[in-house]
Chain A
Amino acid sequence: MTIIEVRDLKKAYFLPGKGKEKFNAVDGISFDILSREIYGILGPNGAGKTTTLEMLEGLKEIDDGTALIDGIDVSIDPYNVKKLIGVQLQSNEYFDKLNLSELLTLFSKLYSTNVDASKLLDQVDLLNKAQSKTQHLSGGQRQRFSIACALVNSPKILFLDEPTTGLDPQAKRNLWRLVKDLNSSGMTIVLTTHNMEEAEYLCDRIAIMDKGRLIAEDTPSALIEKYAPEPSDIPVTGNIEDVFLNLTGHSLRD
């Protein structure tokens, strides 16, 4: 069953320092996300991943096209969409005078619900940090806390924007397990990443974005079959990173 339906989504920004000149950060993309799947949006920096996500989350206005979340049009009724979804943003700063437990209570009040902060913190392994401030958390703890914040309204769909960027391998694995657990409890998860291993390991389906366009979409294994270079004489098997580089080119991105 389709839970997110995106058609010809577009967003243009003014080019910095170029007056009225615009460029298309998201250039007419369409895709469907199925209920209960983990859907990964893969792409180099500046590909338009975050902009796409923020349009779906009702944080950025949609210039053109439509996005339906669980049947609700985001541009018409963003507030009802916000009630259905949980969002973990790339930057995860919070009021630094509040502790984790107070922050979770605050967020739940903003959804007009009451949440058991301890239970939620326990779920992300942060129960012993309930009285700490976010600035005293490690990178991995911070990301897990961000996910806890995104769960206060028991969302149907969870959006994660580069959840493991900057984490050490242990913290990364730990977060993957959390994502898998949430998914197996019935949550649809949409994540962006430029970590190939992550996309390959976590995602049921992957969309590859570049320069505001969707250039490929399929299951990881199908993508590898289709795009990874043929194994050479040396016994090396292609992986999703090969697919990625093959499709988006090897030049450096800002």
Chain B
Amino acid sequence: MLTEAQIHLALVFLKMFLRDIQSMIFNLFFPMAFITVFIFTGGEPDPIKIGIVDKASNQLSKSFSLLLDEDTNFDVLEGLETELSNKLVEGELVAIIEIPDQFDYAYETAELKLILDASQVRQLDGIKDSIEKTLLSIERELRGTEAMFSLEIVDMKARPQRYIDFLIPGLLAFMLMNLSIAGSGFNLVEYRRRGILKRLFVTPIRPKDFIISIVLARLMIVLIQLSVVLWFALLILDIQLIGGLLSIYGMIALGSLIFLCFGFCFGSIAKTQEAIRPLVTSFTFPQLILSGVFFPISSLPEMIQPVAQFLPLSVIASSLRGIANDGLSLLSFDQNLIGVLVWLILSFFLATRYFVWRDVAG
């Protein structure tokens, strides 16, 4: 049971946070700005800009260019080889297709040359595939033949998933990490440095009371701030939420507890604000990049993936995504949820191991 002192102290922490308008705005600024930019850019992938050097310049090659241009995946620019090569080098074009002189029905196979700057093309295979597919369908159309097969891809989940649906759970996980660590780690260092902790421990409260109050207050703060983003995404952006809201909030609370524990560790190890900053950055920054917040872990180099998927932020982001996108609940024990529980136990152990109780006041 909570004592009156614990509840009052928690409310005081909450009140102080709510009075700090500036930090509240800054905490929300990045995720909201990110989402807003995303809304304005529409989130659709840009068409691939492709140049065509038409050396044949006959009926057939012209139809080819026309059909390629009609494909929404491509943005076609016709021109001379030298002119287009320059654009390729400058990065304005992704690739150039060269239509040879002998591009005619008479020839069995005409070889189109695809020129590109491999260093600039990240998904070479993807581009090659989509060009080949387009060529194939153009060929059929020009020759007037019917395709022997066609492959219709039916999503078993039958839900269109947009990038924003992927992004929001990751963004929530990232926000809860920052808010939690700031609440326990940075506050602990600050209160100790200014002698406020010592003043609190003049009274008969125990370290446990202090910890419980901070945790309670921070959970409230995280829930309030993440709700702003979550409900904005739900109501304005109409993001997917297949699983229950209760599971989402439950996972947010579990995730916050993990990072609050880490924060207490860092706050105990680092004695000054100068020391805790790099310590926390070296913990959060790699996770920002490796934990699939902004792009899927599967797009990382394969060597890193096994490590990346077990990071605390990864398992929390993936769990939130599982609940939002795939309708999992807190009771469906998948690999990520188990990961969350393991990190919770581990971080709690580390926090109690490193939290220097006596030092709290000193």
Contact = CB atoms under 8 A, between A and B. Distances in A.
Interface stretch (A29-37, A90-98, A172-180, A197-205): A90-98
Given A106-B8, A107-B203, A93 B195 contact: yes
A149 B200 CA distance: 11
A115 to B, nearest CB: 12
B205 A110 contact: yes
Nearest to B191: A95
B203 A111 contact: yes
Interface stretch (A20-28, A79-87, A210-218): A79-87
Interface residues of B, number: 25
Interface stretch (B15-23, B25-33, B66-74, B306-314): B15-23
A60 B359 CA distance: 9
Contacts of A109: 4-5, 8-9
B19 A97 contact: yes
A95 B202 contact: no
Interface residues of A, number: 27
A107 B204 CA distance: 10
B278 interface: no
B195 A83 contact: no
A150 B203 CA distance: 9
B12 A95 contact: yes
Nearest to A86: B202
B167 interface: no
B12 A89 contact: no
A60 B362 contact: yes
Contacts of B119: none
B198 A59 contact: yes
B358 interface: yes
Among A79, A94, A95, A150, the one with the most B-chain Cβ atoms within 10 Å of its Cβ is A95
B12 A106 contact: yes
A112 interface: yes
Nearest to B7: A109
A57 interface: yes
A61 B359 CA distance: 11
A98 B196 CA distance: 13
Among B4, B8, B194, B198, the one with the most A-chain Cβ atoms within 10 Å of its Cβ is B198
B220 interface: no
B157 to A, nearest CB: 48
Interface in B1-53: 3-5, 8-9, 12, 15-16, 19-20
Contacts of A110: 5, 8-9, 200, 203-205
Nearest to B8: A109
Contacts of B358: 61
B194 A91 contact: yes
Contact of B204 (A61, A82, A95, A102): A82
Given A59-B202, A89-B202, A95 B195 contact: no
B113 interface: no
B199 interface: yes
Contacts of B206: 79
Nearest to A114: B4
B15 A97 contact: yes
B201 interface: yes
Interface string B188-217: 000000111011111111100000000000
A93 B4 contact: no
A95 B196 contact: yes
A89 B5 contact: no
Among A59, A79, A102, A153, the one with the most B-chain Cβ atoms within 10 Å of its Cβ is A59
B127 interface: no
A57 B195 CA distance: 15
B361 interface: yes
Contacts of A59: 198, 201-202, 361
A95 B194 CA distance: 9
Contact of A112 (B3, B194, B196, B198): B3
Given A89-B202, A92-B199, A110-B200, 5 more contacts: A82-B203, A91-B198, A95-B196, A97-B16, A107-B203
11 contacts: A79-B206, A82-B202, A87-B202, A91-B195, A106-B9, A109-B9, A110-B204, A112-B3, A112-B5, A150-B202, A153-B203
Interface of A: 57, 59-61, 79-80, 82-83, 87, 89, 91-95, 97-98, 102, 106-107, 109-112, 149-150, 153
Q: Nearest 8 A-B pairs (CB), nearest first?
A: A91-B195, A110-B203, A109-B8, A97-B16, A82-B204, A93-B194, A87-B202, A79-B204
